Structure formats: C-alpha cells, structure tokens
C-alpha cells in the first residue's frame, strides 16, 4: 500500500476508501435525522455534536504492522474496524445509551460488536461507548455492507480522552507514572462532573415541569371561573 505496485491496487484502494467515505456520509445523515426527530418530539437535542474521520493511509499501515498482519487492502478491510470512524458527543451521561439504542434499532444497521467503557472504564480512566456497525452503501451493482466504528461519550469524557491521547502520543504509550496518576485523578473528576451535571440538569428539568404544570392549572382555573361567571 505504501507504493502501490499496480494500477489494480490503486483502483482497489480507491474503491475501498470510496465505500468508507460513503458509509460515513450515510451514517452522519442517519444520526442527524434521529437527533432532529428528538428535537421535534421532545424539544431536546441529545447530541451536542458529531465528528467523523477516515483513517489515514499511514495509520492503516501502522495498525496492520502493529497487529503483525501483512499490509494488504484485503487485510485492512477484513481486520480494521475503524477506517471509518464517527464520534458522537452528548451533554449528559444519560444520553449515551438512548443514542446507542436508537442507532442499533435502525433496520439497515447491524451491530457487530460493542465495547462498553462506560459501564467498565479502562484502568487508565478512559470512558466511552464503542460500537462497530455495518451500514449498507448502495452502488450501481448492489449494496456493500461497510464497517463504521462509532464512539459515544460526553463532552467531559471527550475532553479527557483528547488530552490523554495527546499525552500517550507524546510519550509513545509510556507516560511517566505521575502523569498516569494525575490523569486517573482527572478521570475521576470527569465522572464526578458528569454526575453533577446530570443531577443539575434533572433539577432544572423538574423546575421547568413544575412551572409548566402550574401555568396549566392557572389556565384551567381561569377557564372554570369564566364559565361560572357567564350569564
Ligand atoms: P485500537 O486498536 O486502538 O483501535 O483498539 P481496539 O481495536 O481494541 O478497540 P477499542 O474499542 O478498545 O478502541 C478503539 C478506539 O477507542 C481507539 O482507536 C481510540 O480512538 C479510542 N480509545 C480506546 N482506548 C483509549 C484510551 O485509553 N484513551 C483514548 N484517548 N482513546 C482510547
Ligand atoms: Mg482504533
């Protein structure tokens, strides 16, 4: 793949990457529609924002070599799950599973596997919900089910993961002990912050609900009074 030996391989590479980028478009639209429907129904947007990316050729080669596989397009398609990747960032912990369920319920999406680092955080403190799915891409001669890795996490979890990723990259996976401990402390703070934000949001919603009920009661009473006072 580094120096494609033939035009055949270049074509094969282009076709594969075309599928992945089409799958990304398709899944992005799907997720956007689901979020918009939620806004329509409940006046609430569970998704803060979505990012997506295609794995670079360099990372693809690096990953295959790391996994001790021959660098071929067949191996990349067969063994790499995250060539197409989508990250869904939500505000609250409570949004994560409903979003995952909405995606899994789609008739044309197949969930291949799930890694629940929300329920079972990694020892370094990493939290996120991962699913590898396939989504069909419709070509002129039929459909191709294409793999996409979806990561769902809160803004706070994303903040942590971004910093941790930079540090891990800088120290090539061997950060100094104290940094690891500090990061773990930050991860615990992220968990606390997410829990606090969740309960704060609950409280705000309850106040809103109470005000709505009171307004409704006042309206009802005014109507009853009006009826009574009619000649
Ligand atoms: P990779 O070989 O890294 O793709 O891992 P995997 O095939 O075992 O899958 P997993 O679901 O564990 O991780 C997939 C992706 O999640 C990674 O490529 C990262 O984007 C993210 N990830 C997993 N663990 C960590 C972590 O400890 N820190 C950060 N910052 N990101 C992580
Ligand atoms: Mg990966």
In the prediction, which pLDDT does 172 show? 84
Q: Is residue 198 part of a domain?
A: no
In the prediction, which pLDDT does 230 show? 75
Distance from the CA of 151 to the center of ligand 1, in angstroms?
9
Q: Is residue 210 part of a domain?
A: no
Distance from the CA of 86 to the center of ligand 1, in angstroms?
13
Instruction: Decide if pLDDT at 186 tops 70.
Output: yes
Ranking 49-53, 79-83, 143-147, 167-171 by mean pLDDT, the lowest is 167-171
Q: Is residue 195 part of a domain?
A: no
Closest Cα partner for 148 from 3, 25, 1? 25
CA atoms within 13 A on the CB side of 66: 9
CATH number, residue 22: 3.30.460.10
Q: Is residue 79 part of a domain?
A: yes
193: left (phi over 0), alpha (psi -120 to 50) or beta: alpha
Q: Is residue 231 part of a domain?
A: no
> Which residue lies with its CA nearest to atom 4 of ligand 1?
82
Q: For a pocket test of ligand 1, which of 53, 80, 112, 130 has the largest count of ligand atoms closer than 8 A to its C-beta? A: 130
Q: Is residue 30 part of a domain?
A: yes
Domain count, the chain: 1
SS3 226: helix
Distance from the CA of 83 to the center of ligand 1, in angstroms?
13
- pLDDT confidence tier of residue 1, bands split at 50, 70 and 90: low
- The per-residue pLDDT for range 109-147, each reduced to its tens digit, is 999 999 999 999 999 999 999 999 999 999 999 999 999
Q: Is residue 215 part of a domain?
A: no
Mean pLDDT, range 152-157, rounded to an integer: 98
Q: What range defines the domain where residue 47 resides?
A: 4-156
- The per-residue pLDDT for range 30-61, each reduced to its tens digit, is 999 999 999 999 988 999 999 999 999 999 99
Mean pLDDT, range 207-228, rounded to an integer: 93
In the prediction, which pLDDT does 164 show? 94
Alpha helices in 67-176 (DSSP H): 73-79, 93-105, 155-170
Binding site membership of 64 for ligand 1 (Cβ less than 6 Å): no
- The per-residue pLDDT for range 20-32, each reduced to its tens digit, is 999 999 999 999 9
Q: Is residue 203 part of a domain?
A: no
Instruction: Decide if pLDDT at 5 tops 80.
Output: no
Which structure tokens are listed for 216?
Answer: 């409704």
In the prediction, which pLDDT does 7 show? 82
Q: What pTM does this model have?
A: 0.91
Q: In what order do the strands lie in the sheet with 84-90?
A: 47-54, 84-90, 142-154, 129-139, 110-116
In the prediction, which pLDDT does 214 show? 96
Tell me the C-alpha distance between 160 and 162, whole Å.
Answer: 5
Mean pLDDT of the chain: 94
């Amino acid at each position: 793949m580094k120096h494609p030996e033939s035009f055949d391989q270049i074509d094969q590479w282009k076709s594969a990457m075309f599928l992945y980028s089409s799958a990304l478009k398709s899944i992005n639209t799907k997720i956007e529609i689901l979020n918009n429907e939620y806004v329509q129904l409940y006046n609430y947007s569970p998704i803060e924002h979505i990012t997506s990316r295609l794995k670079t050729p360099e990372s693809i080669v690096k990953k295959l070599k790391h996994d001790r596989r021959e660098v071929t397009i067949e191996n990349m398609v067969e063994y790499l799950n995250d060539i197409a990747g989508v990250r869904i960032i939500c505000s609250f912990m409570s949004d994560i599973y409903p979003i995952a369920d909405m995606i899994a319920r789609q008739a044309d999406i197949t969930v291949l596997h799930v890694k629940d680092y929300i329920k079972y955080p990694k020892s370094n403190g990493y939290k996120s919900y991962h699913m590898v799915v396939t989504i069909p891409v419709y070509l002129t001669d039929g459909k191709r089910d294409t793999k996409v890795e979806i990561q769902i996490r809160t803004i706070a979890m994303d903040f942590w993961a971004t910093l941790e990723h930079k540090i891990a990259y800088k120290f090539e996976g061997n950060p100094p002990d104290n940094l690891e401990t500090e990061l773990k402390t930050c991860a615990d703070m992220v968990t606390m912050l997410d829990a606090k934000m969740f309960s704060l949001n609950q409280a705000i919603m309850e106040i809103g609900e109470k005000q709505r009920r009171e307004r409704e009661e006042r309206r009802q009473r005014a109507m009853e009074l009006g009826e009574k006072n009619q000649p």
